A and B are shown apart, each in its own frame.
Chain A
Amino acid sequence: MIFSNFFHKMASPKHFYRIAGRLIPWLAGACLLLVLAGLYYGLLVAPPDYQQGDSYRIMFIHVPAAWMSLFIYVVMAGAGAIGLIWRIKLAEVITISSAPVGASFTFLALVTGSIWGKPMWGTWWVWDARLTSELILLFLYLGVIALHSAIEDRRMAARAVAILALVGVINIPIIHYSVEWWNTLHQGPTVTKFDKPSIHLSMLIPLLLMAVAFKLYYVFVVLMRARCEVLERERNTVWVRELAEEK
């Protein structure tokens, strides 16, 4: 009961605005600490790789960014489905607030991958299944952002965006399994598989620290964006006016 009460309260824009505002500084602080720890262990403590030397260290940005690009898309599509079925405004807000963050992580994954590819593979870019499907993911995010800004009515826009996000969700398993289904230049999975990770513990720890830090980053940035979106949507309500008068 308490649990469902909590969710009903959170789904009300007013309570969400207040609670998110309190959470953001803590999440941001924890994120900063984890990034610093991850960078310290990743760049200074972790040993060089037996094959790639020090160049492999770009993985501590590349891999968490790529994981986030998939994770955020699933959250976006999931929130889209909840918004479509239950017509919960907050779910619509989360869907559209996630898109720019996801697009940024996808772009970061593509750019760091390219920078990593040049010295290791010998090329900036190839059209193999993994790279191509990740590029399609970037276009899906950009499509979601463009579609949202093309429709004037926010609730209509949220519905259209949710459907696009749900259609695109099929790309997520394709990206993940691309390296197993087809021959690619990109390597196979190191961590995200059923076997034990084929990475030494001293390198795995900074990777996971960075992964958690990136997750926290997403949560606090999406909460910030969602607060703005809530204020804009509710600008004609009493509580937003009272809030504006207080300031």
Chain B
Amino acid sequence: MTPKRRQRMLLIASMVIGVGIAAGFALKAFNENLMFFYTPTAVVAGEAPADHLIRVGGLVTTGSVQRKSDGLTVTFDITDNKDTITVQYTGILPDLFREGQGIVAHGRLQGDSLFVADEVLAKHDENYMPPEVADALKTVHEEGSRGTVVTTD
């Protein structure tokens, strides 16, 4: 490699590394703004601003979905398996909405633990499998937990 080429290579390498470091600092500075939603833990810890439109995301707690008598208003709890908050929403829910599903709600906190949403989006995970496999996994899981109950008894 000629000295000239080596010099050009070093120049390019330092440019790319420099841009990388700058981008790293910028992203670190804006880290919070880049988060699409707050977790229930963050909300309970008071990290989410009150009286501001924000998004919260978590899994819909099983058995928590309740419909009001008007047929459109729903309340449900979302959790990140540490803390839980209650979401109230009036409108049409996405097809993927169900208990145990990850969702992201956009709206405002009211009081300590009620979140009034004006939009609810469903977040699906990275797992793809045929329905039979999902059923089989579920059965194995249930049998497995039943098995442990038997052995502990």
Contacts and interface: CB of A to CB of B under 8 A. Distances in A.
Interface residues of A, number: 41
Contact of A183 (B5, B36, B122): B36
Interface string A42-66: 0000011111100010010000000
Given A51-B124, A121-B122, A202 B96 contact: no
A123 B5 CA distance: 50
Interface stretch (A28-36, A92-100, A146-154, A167-175): A167-175
Given A50-B131, A129-B36, A184-B36, A85 B125 contact: no
Interface stretch (B14-22, B64-72, B143-151): B14-22
What is the predominant secondary structure among interface residues of chain B facing chain A?
Answer: mixed
Contact of A48 (B15, B19, B35, B130): B130
B130 A166 contact: no
A150 B92 CA distance: 49
A182 B30 CA distance: 11
B12 to A, nearest CB: 6
Interface in B107-125: 119-125
A79 to B, nearest CB: 13
B122 to A, nearest CB: 6
Interface size class of B (residues with CB under 8 A): 35 or more
Given A59-B128, A85-B5, A122-B122, 8 more contacts: A81-B12, A120-B94, A167-B16, A183-B57, A185-B36, A185-B123, A187-B124, A202-B130
B133 interface: yes
A190 B129 CA distance: 11
Task: List the 3 closest A-B pairs by CB distance, nearest first.
Answer: A122-B94, A50-B134, A47-B130
A166 B129 contact: no
Contact of B35 (A167, A169, A182, A189): A182
15 contacts: A47-B131, A48-B130, A48-B131, A49-B129, A51-B124, A170-B19, A181-B34, A183-B39, A187-B123, A187-B126, A189-B126, A199-B127, A200-B128, A200-B129, A200-B130
Interface of A: 47-52, 56, 59, 81, 84-86, 119-123, 126-129, 163, 166-167, 169-170, 174, 181-185, 187-190, 198-200, 202-203
B135 to A, nearest CB: 8
Contacts of A47: 130-132
Interface in B20-46: 20, 23, 27, 31, 34-39
A144 to B, nearest CB: 16
Contacts of B134: 50-51
Contact of A49 (B15, B20, B23, B130): B130
B104 interface: yes
A203 B35 CA distance: 31
B27 to A, nearest CB: 7
A85 B5 CA distance: 5
Interface in B49-87: 57
Given A126-B121, A188-B125, A183 B23 contact: no
B12 A84 contact: yes
A181 B104 CA distance: 17
A163 B127 CA distance: 39
A163 B16 CA distance: 9
B95 interface: yes
B23 A174 contact: yes
Nearest to A133: B34
